[in-house]
Amino acid sequence: MATTQSLQDEAVALAQSRRESDLDALIEELSIPSISTLPERRDDCLANARWLRDRFTAMNMKTDIIDVREGGLPVVMAEWNQHPGKPHLTIYGHYDVQPVDPVDEWKTPPFDPIARDGHLYARGAADNKGNHMATVKAVEHLFALGGAPINLRFLLEGEEEITGPSLPQFLRERGSSLKTDSVLIWDSGMDEEGMPTLATSLRGLIYTELRATGPAVDLHSGTYGGIAPNPINTLARIVAELKDRDGRVTIPGFYDAVRDPSAAEAADWKRKDSDFTAEMLRLTGAKALEGEPDFTGLARAGARPTLDANGFVGGFTGKGAKTVIPSHAMAKVSMRLVPDQDWKAILASFKSHVQSLTTPGVQIEIEVIGSAPPVLCSVDHDAARALTAAYKAAFGKETALVRVGGSIPVAVDFQEAVGAPLVISGIAQADCAIHSPNEHLLIDNYHRGIEAVIRFICGLAETSS
């Protein structure tokens, strides 16, 4: 007991004395433009994987860069197993980041990290490099004092932002050899009140591309207007009719499996709804919020399924006028699903519904770009309790239990292939602008996050004492 407590105290003190170098390490990784969806950035993604490998190697962890599939981006795995009988923790994160478009809305270059007003601005600062570097630095400080008091494994992937199959395939193929007592998925953040969080669920995801084809070539809208099928008109109509004016999705059977929240959850959401709505208006810059009017904002943001158009392209989009009926149009449409919804059944109903909405002369092809089922997470286990205590000590705040509106595709693979309890959390503040221009991380959260992970790891060591 005293030995682990002493190690924890020394490691926290060491982290506090090395804040400048810890921030420098994050800045160095953020400078790598590891955008997984862009083929021209593949070499940068590989460079980021090597950069992480070298940090783990310097800690004398057993380290490997694993190419799971040809053409994919590798998984960085690092292991340290020096304590037979002690708990084993697997830490997950991802080194790939989102594209930076629209780049002209960034106040500073997205891969030239800059500290401003207590925040660090760069693509990936919050999602996910700030999160996973906090775990890496926590372990570095423990290793500087002789090693962690438990057994550890890092699994950092490069395909999270593209719902890539490499890590899920790796887990499915090698799950039996990846025995662990808990999995820390640090790919989330604080709530709107600045409290640390633990996820009780994640929404699932279906991401599709709809391609509409009409005439064989673009046509003059004067000569052929009124008789030629117009893919833009049809696709716009389809996308619009997927939801009604109140935000309710029109796909048959879409809500059949959605469970109601508990009475305690509903009461808590109602109590917080006014403040949540005000904060969402501030964060979005919108004049009003939308969605199902019979549900609170918190319910709509995490406990209700959604459907959104994410992009729409077709015809002439340059300056000036060009009167054409286009040959093709394309839209990207995604759905976020909640626990108990079967994504395969929803997808089948979606496809059928889209085809029923098309018009004569326009063919619709539907491609699934990515998918992930929703996930339920228990918080009644040692790892959840240890992280809650660590947050209290590092941040001085209680931990809120939340339903997360976003998706972490690999979470279900950890659950099903590895079988260990998940702890889903993170240190990004609510207004961090992930996936948007000017993404940023509160620097104090990064440093306190390092301390929280040190305390979490040491707390897990005590669970077997």
List, run by run, the mean pLDDT of 10-residue segments along the chain (465 residues). 85 98 98 98 98 97 97 98 95 98 96 98 98 98 96 97 93 94 96 93 94 97 96 98 96 95 86 90 90 92 95 94 96 96 96 97 96 91 97 97 90 93 96 96 98 98 78
Q: Which of 55, 59, 52 is nearest to 82 (CA)?
A: 59
Last residue of a domain, one of 330, 356, 371: 371
Q: Which of 293, 258, 287, 259 is nearest to 273 (CA)?
A: 293
The answer to whether residues 34 and 64 belong to one domain is yes
The answer to whether residues 356 and 382 belong to one domain is no
Residue 281 lies in a domain: no
The answer to whether residues 303 and 403 belong to one domain is no
CATH of the domain at 64: 3.40.630.10
Residue 277 lies in a domain: no
Residue 282 lies in a domain: no
Residue 438 lies in a domain: yes
Distances (CA, A) of 1 to 8, 13, 143, 409: 11, 18, 19, 37
Residue 270 lies in a domain: no
Residue 222 lies in a domain: yes
Q: What is the mean pLDDT of the chain?
A: 95
Q: Which of 48, 82, 44 is nearest to 62 (CA)?
A: 82
pTM for this prediction: 0.86
The total number of structural domains that make up the chain: 2
The answer to whether residues 173 and 322 belong to one domain is no
pLDDT, one tens digit per residue, over 256-315 is 999 888 888 888 889 889 988 998 898 889 999 999 999 999 999 999 999 999 999 999
CATH of the domain at 304: 3.30.70.360
The answer to whether residues 223 and 165 belong to one domain is no
What domain range is 306 assigned to?
Answer: 204-263+288-371
Residue 352 lies in a domain: yes
Give one DSSP letter per residue of 56-81, joined into a string. HHHTT-EEEEE--STTSPPEEEEEE-
The answer to whether residues 240 and 366 belong to one domain is yes
| pLDDT at residue number 264 | 84
Phi, psi of 422 (to 5 degrees): -100, 140
Last residue of a domain, one of 371, 387, 415: 371
The answer to whether residues 42 and 31 belong to one domain is yes
The answer to whether residues 416 and 329 belong to one domain is no
The answer to whether residues 35 and 97 belong to one domain is yes
The answer to whether residues 320 and 175 belong to one domain is no
| pLDDT at residue number 372 | 86
Last residue of a domain, one of 314, 339, 371: 371
Q: Which of 268, 279, 275, 277 is nearest to 297 (CA)?
A: 277
The answer to whether residues 350 and 431 belong to one domain is no
Residue 78 lies in a domain: yes
| pLDDT at residue number 409 | 85
pLDDT, one tens digit per residue, over 84-109 is 999 999 999 999 999 999 999 999 99
The answer to whether residues 339 and 417 belong to one domain is no
